[in-house]
Structure 1
């Protein structure tokens, strides 16, 4: 082994420490998790910023790229940020900077960008060597007072500079611009809100600190998204989300119909939900169109320029626009859910989910802290200036003596201090005075400044001594922000509106999402199912797997629901459009629904919500069921008839007329009134006919006035009138009499 491959220390084990892997991993992962939570993913509740955004704004402030200055290259800004404050990749910093400038991402952009900063289609911004940026007024408000000791500073990563721990935040940025981020084990998602409304709620909180979330929602009815849209949530769910800090908002695209004349129209979408890429949305709708999932839609076009204009062309002028849009809302991102998870850093240290009132109260507490610190800073500056002014006044009152001391003394400073009882600072100020300020006028100006500063000092001291005055000052500041971003302004006006979702018929929407085509449903004895295109009358040509044969075949439309009843008394529902096509032998039904292995398909038919059915078990128990009660929306199906082996469900017969004819395997027939059968949603049922042995063979519902008809095996029809049926008429659960002459040998009414 070469010497260079030995571990440090010449190969002995002195420098190798055994470490428990579990403990080491836990410790390192916890350190990473804490770093991500505290210094990357979660915003501070006070200024609503994550560290990267705070550093971008601070770096721009240090560079002097204010709203009234020229734009500066983004490459310079990014360079400053990563060189001085943020030791991470340049691309991640630039991406954050770009987002701060996008008016479709930020409700109130913090950065004013010049050049290509991306668009709502999801195209990315130009490289940072091509784009330029400067601050907006929002950034100026966030920084207001930063040079007046409003916030704490800490050393930067290399301890060469200092950076603010939090910004003064005169703008309610957390709620106004929102935030989203994924940390370790926690995430945050806050949608943007309207500043005018936030300021109203904050002003109300100053007067009523115990105000409830319900009251605050009167001022802030919900998010105000940069891209507009329509929020369709009820007030109760919005209040609940703001109370708990967790929830979500359903946002729909804004649309209207455009008349094309002659009864024709097209739908124009003018606003899409927040954070939905328009190009991806249109792509998705086009894919659904090609897949024939949107039968009411003919075409989609993107005619957007600066504003959004997506044109939806209906299949025909008779298509209901609301129904078409409802089907699109269900299948596409034209309706999207904006999550709310107000997980923020409270006091800059503790990550927790906060309610709306807590977020606002903590912002107000921060504003109060900033005001006190700025006032104390100004007070200290005034005290320093008053001290100097006091010294200058002494100099003016004793000008000749001061000049004499300066001219004659080797060390004039200590002599001045002793002669006029001056402080070091005052003596220094006198010695640094210029000759030109020895004019007569200067004394008057010093006295005026002295008086003004004394008054300002008294005002600040009064402010700091009174809680009421502090809150009045904060209210005034908030009022100024409210004025600047009032709803009357272009930037401040509310973009997202509120509306109730139209009450549309679910079945109608479901049907609107399926192309209506004729099919033939085929189910084999071994429960393989398929849907052949078109209506096929001759089923003899159908092929099946070896040992399998046809069980049931019937025509349907792709928009129909198919009800399948098993021998175990269970009903399953499958949409005809979900069935496999006619190629091959289809698919086993047991793959599509949870059907027990010891049960077989009894029958299947197209669901008719208006219809009632008679169900009967092999032993002769039965009842009437409304067909809508058989519909099951899950794979598990619905137990409708309670049967236990060896008994099983045997017959499903549509209800019509007023009487029921039952034939047993013993070839005895009984006719009784239909109203003797109970209507149930699930159960064993009542006895239809009594048997010594065997069970039921067939059932038929009919109108007694029309008589009872059947067909024999040769296809001849027989009808027995009411009078001719007298000897078979009775009550249910009777034994019945032997079937009439001419009744089919099969024991069934259909020969």
Structure 2
């Protein structure tokens, strides 16, 4: 029986079955969406992945320590963070250690972790694992209160709601999952390309998707393959949804008695054993004819499926049938669905980059606040120690006179004006700290901390400084972990790739003082002997003069440097081809120039991080920057070098750290020194002094000691070749030695490294062009006046020359 009091407190709320099922189903759906199937946009992880990585980090299971049994990892994670059964945790751990499942594996496995044929991993008691360095970067700074923590399932401890994620993991490794009423299927990408795109987004948050695709052209699957077409990728980057067709890589060999097809790469998430079985079934059912034998010769070095064909078979027809009827050609449906602020959202590429950047801004801000607080606390303690050491006799006497530690602490606080933390530090101080050297170390530690405090305060006071810190970390991640792209992107049927339609051939590019640029074929000029008059090479405006000429391939990038130290990008083929006498096109119509002019242009084919750009300015300053820091083109350009007031950029060269450079001035001074005398700096740096010059002199040329001679040409057409050995004996920052003795009123216009087999094309201010062989110009000692290289009309001057190597031209 129940009492009347129980009846009074009991109430019955009538609820229809429909309403209760709807509410319960929504709760269940959100639980699956948020807590199981969809990744967080910030770190790209689902809860089970995050708990495994955090648990392994908590166990000290890092890459520099021995692997641990998978069973112990699973037990730790299941007991503290993920009470959903060991099989779910172990299956996730196994997948994170499979090189064919993850583009950048977060876990390094030891033992049998399955295969691309669908073989299962060994039991967890037989396998071992540990974190990779890249996964440790995901956890870096988590101990510095950079992310929020929440109670675990039994509130016995806490777990992070998100990882600091120094790497943009969601784009790099992708994700897939089926929730309730929605699904995500995000492809992996190349780490280096993602970092480049992120840096470009940091520089310009409004950067268009088409510009981002120049840096991040598409997915990069761990199993390689070929993506057919870019339209689906672009649609996915714009809207968050799209699809791309992936083909395996297959080659036709016809060297033996019978042709055969060799499959070396298969599409992402395709089971190789099932693929081979499907091909065999198609042959057995006679849906594909012409195959005589099929065998899998794959090993630890890679995939190799050999398909022997009959003598009368047409290999390309057979291969097309395999593409049509098997997963060797597969469609990957892209759905960029992720959790943003507790809600599932379909995201474009700029949105994915933006949300990740917002997360890193918060992490860096919280990390800087933590470091600043700890640094201030340490400086406070050091101030107490320094105060105690300055009156050490009185401090020791006070402590010895105290009957207990508590009273000694109180005496220190009241007598010397210390607080409790400082007093405790003094009481715990070891006797060895009384040594003079130890006291100096305390002073040095305080000085270093004060500099660090100033740096951290600077970061926290300006968002641009936080962004610069993030960009520096992204570049470091790229340099440490990036690897070459594995998946090729090919044009689909009907898709026209502009670059593929343009012949890759050398061309002569010229630039005028008023920034008119044009591209001309090299065969527009016939060779002449030294001293010839040349031919008309450019019809300039009356007040315009040609200032630069050089040879480049049509597929090269042109790095265009302005007088303000900014850099702009374009392809050589983007410059309209002109006739020999054509005026060209204003470069302002090709580049988004501000109030500036282009005065240095160099061609580059690839942005190799092992190479550098070496800058030289009119005032004699030099700067060396890694080439890959300029691999992220922006329509609005970026700042390449910080110039002093009144200084200008003269020239830029591509170097490889082992070369020597030679600087030449207007009045004929030259200085040679080793490139490694200039340490690499980041772009937008000022650099160091390269050459010192007398009043009225300035730098006109930067050359690399990479050929046989230095060819120096003056404005009045005089020139000579000089052995590079003539310029030894002086280091960076000196005045160098006399190279050429130009006549009164004349001056050096340029100096370049040449060899006997080279040719040069000279241009005058009035547009006269002359092509001649280098071997016809005398080799003379330094300090001489040279010989007549080009006859000049009254009032005309040479403004520059280009060197043509034998490999540039076959005419």
Q: What TM-score comes out, normalization by structure 1 length?
A: 0.63
* Deviations 1:203-262, CA, capped at 9 Å, x for gaps: 1111111011111111111110000011112x3332112111101110011010123424
Q: Which of the numbers 376, 393, 402 marks the counterpart of 1:409?
A: 402
Q: Distance in 2 between matches of 1:132 and 1:146?
A: 25
Matched, 1:495 2:489: no
2:441 equivalent in structure 1: 445
* Deviations 1:169-220, CA, capped at 9 Å, x for gaps: 0111101111000111110001110001001101111111101111111111
Q: Distance in 1 between matches of 2:382 and 2:172?
A: 45
Q: Which of the numbers 256, 262, 282 marks the counterpart of 1:261?
A: 256
Matched, 1:342 2:336: yes
* Deviations 1:91-124, CA, capped at 9 Å, x for gaps: 0110000000000000111000000000000011
Q: Distance in 1 between matches of 2:397 and 2:9?
A: 81
Q: Distance in 2 between matches of 1:242 and 1:153?
A: 32
1:35 equivalent in structure 2: 31
Q: Distance in 2 between matches of 1:321 and 1:12?
A: 86
1:372 equivalent in structure 2: 365
Q: Which of the numbers 231, 240, 254 marks the counterpart of 2:235?
A: 240
Deviation at 1:12, TM superposition (A): 14
1:167 equivalent in structure 2: 163
Moved more, 63-72 or 321-330: 321-330
Q: Distance in 2 between matches of 1:277 and 1:326?
A: 20
1:298 equivalent in structure 2: 292
Q: Which of the numbers 473, 476, 480 marks the counterpart of 2:476?
A: 480
Q: Distance in 1 between matches of 2:451 and 2:278?
A: 68
2:244 equivalent in structure 1: 249
Q: Distance in 1 between matches of 2:235 and 2:12?
A: 57
Deviation at 1:298, TM superposition (A): 3.1
2:712 equivalent in structure 1: none
1:73 equivalent in structure 2: 69
Q: Does structure 1 conserve the Cα–Cα contact (< 8 Å) formed by 2:290 and 2:312? A: no
Q: Distance in 1 between matches of 2:493 and 2:181?
A: 38
2:355 equivalent in structure 1: 362
* Deviations 1:651-698, CA, capped at 9 Å, x for gaps: xxxxxxxxxxxxxxxxxxxxxxxxxxxxxxxxxxxxxxxxxxxxxxxx
Q: Distance in 1 between matches of 2:87 and 2:256?
A: 52
Matched, 1:331 2:315: no
SS at match of 1:451: helix
Matched, 1:61 2:57: yes
Q: Distance in 2 between matches of 1:407 and 1:11?
A: 74
Deviation at 1:437, TM superposition (A): 2.1
SS at match of 1:261: coil
Q: Distance in 2 between matches of 1:261 and 1:48?
A: 49
Q: Which of the numbers 133, 136, 142 marks the counterpart of 1:146?
A: 142
Q: Distance in 2 between matches of 1:261 and 1:449?
A: 73
1:729 equivalent in structure 2: none
Q: Distance in 2 between matches of 1:470 and 1:156?
A: 32
Q: Distance in 2 between matches of 1:17 and 1:472?
A: 59
Q: Distance in 1 between matches of 2:432 and 2:256?
A: 84
- Structure number with larger C-alpha Rg: 1
Matched, 1:319 2:320: no
Q: Distance in 2 between matches of 1:10 and 1:361?
A: 57
SS at match of 2:283: helix
Q: Distance in 2 between matches of 1:60 and 1:272?
A: 32
Compared CA separation, residues 14 and 45, structure 1 to 2 (3 A): closer
Q: Distance in 1 between matches of 2:441 and 2:480?
A: 36
Spell out the pairing of 1:231-630 with structure 2 (5 A cutoff).
231-233=227-229, 235-262=230-257, 264-306=258-300, 307-314=302-309, 316-347=310-341, 349-410=342-403, 411-486=407-482, 492-501=483-492
Q: Does structure 1 conserve the Cα–Cα contact (< 8 Å) formed by 2:289 and 2:318? A: no
* Deviations 1:600-642, CA, capped at 9 Å, x for gaps: xxxxxxxxxxxxxxxxxxxxxxxxxxxxxxxxxxxxxxxxxxx
Q: Distance in 2 between matches of 1:475 and 1:215?
A: 18
Q: Distance in 1 between matches of 2:370 and 2:209?
A: 36
1:122 equivalent in structure 2: 118
Q: Distance in 1 between matches of 2:12 and 2:487?
A: 63
Deviation at 1:14, TM superposition (A): 6.3
Gaps of 5+ in 1: 487-491, 504-751
Q: Does structure 1 conserve the Cα–Cα contact (< 8 Å) formed by 2:432 and 2:438? A: no
1:210 equivalent in structure 2: 206
Q: Distance in 1 between matches of 2:316 and 2:438?
A: 79
Q: Does structure 1 conserve the Cα–Cα contact (< 8 Å) formed by 2:112 and 2:127? A: yes
Matched, 1:94 2:90: yes
SS at match of 2:245: strand
1:724 equivalent in structure 2: none
Deviation at 1:435, TM superposition (A): 2.4
Deviation at 1:468, TM superposition (A): 2.1
2:794 equivalent in structure 1: none
Deviation at 1:69, TM superposition (A): 0.2
Deviation at 1:45, TM superposition (A): 0.9
Q: Distance in 2 between matches of 1:173 and 1:57?
A: 13
1:535 equivalent in structure 2: none
Q: Distance in 1 between matches of 2:164 and 2:7?
A: 57
SS at match of 2:264: strand
Deviation at 1:10, TM superposition (A): 12
Deviation at 1:502, TM superposition (A): 6.6
2:561 equivalent in structure 1: none
Compared CA separation, residues 116 and 54, structure 1 to 2 (3 A): same
Q: Distance in 2 between matches of 1:336 and 1:75?
A: 36
Q: Distance in 1 between matches of 2:169 and 2:416?
A: 53
Q: Does structure 1 conserve the Cα–Cα contact (< 8 Å) formed by 2:242 and 2:333? A: yes
Moved more, 288-297 or 40-49: 288-297
Deviation at 1:268, TM superposition (A): 0.4
SS at match of 1:299: strand
Q: CA RMSD in A?
A: 2.1
Moved more, 85-94 or 459-468: 459-468
Q: What TM-score comes out, normalization by structure 2 length?
A: 0.59
Q: Distance in 2 between matches of 1:11 and 1:399?
A: 78
Deviation at 1:385, TM superposition (A): 0.4
2:731 equivalent in structure 1: none
Q: Distance in 2 between matches of 1:334 and 1:193?
A: 20
Compared CA separation, residues 501 and 289, structure 1 to 2 (3 A): farther
